[in-house]
Amino acid sequence: MPSVCRLVALDSTHPASVMALAQDGSIIGLALLLTDEAGEVCLDLLCVVPAYQRQEIATSMVASAVNHLAVMSVKTLSSAYHICNESSRDWHHLFGFVDVYDQMYIPLKYAWYRDEVWRRDKLGLVDGLDTLKAGRDFWLAQLDERKR
């Protein structure tokens, strides 16, 4: 972790939540963890002030939180990101989060790929068809057995 900040536990949230402070005491990052009704822990908010981004502060905060969760015998941490936020998606994947798709979303995604493959095939547009077929097959595999 960069020498310009320190991590501080937050009392009003899940005890594994942390914030990063600059040397002057100003807040430069926050990893807010919450517990849902079922007792599952979720990374609800992760942010770093733009001037301090790309310095591994987010990763350090979440690593600290994960270590704290391990001491508390919590084995699972969930998180969510906006599907269009590529940098957040990439960070989540690099950190080790695994996508769990909403069962309401999967049939829509599968139907789009299926229809787009059919449309392009009928028009004779073969460029990128293999990639679309792979996407279609991926989303078909994600479908709940009841919806196949």
Per-residue pLDDT of the chain (148 residues; tens, 9 = 90+): 455 566 655 545 788 999 999 999 999 999 999 988 788 899 999 999 999 999 999 999 999 999 999 999 999 999 988 877 888 889 999 999 998 888 888 999 999 999 999 999 999 999 999 999 999 999 999 887 666 6
- Taking the CA of residue 94 as centre, how many other CA atoms within 13 Å lie in the half-sphere pointing to its CB? 10
Render 85-109 in DSSP notation, one character per residue: -HHHHHHHHHHT------TTTHHHH
Q: Distance between CA 13 and CA 36 in Å, rounded?
A: 12
Domain ranges of the chain: 5-95, 106-147
DSSP strand pairing (77-79 vs 27-35): unpaired
Class of domain 5-95: alpha beta
Question: pTM of the predicted model, to two decimals?
Answer: 0.67
Q: Distance between CA 138 and CA 61 in Å, rounded?
A: 33
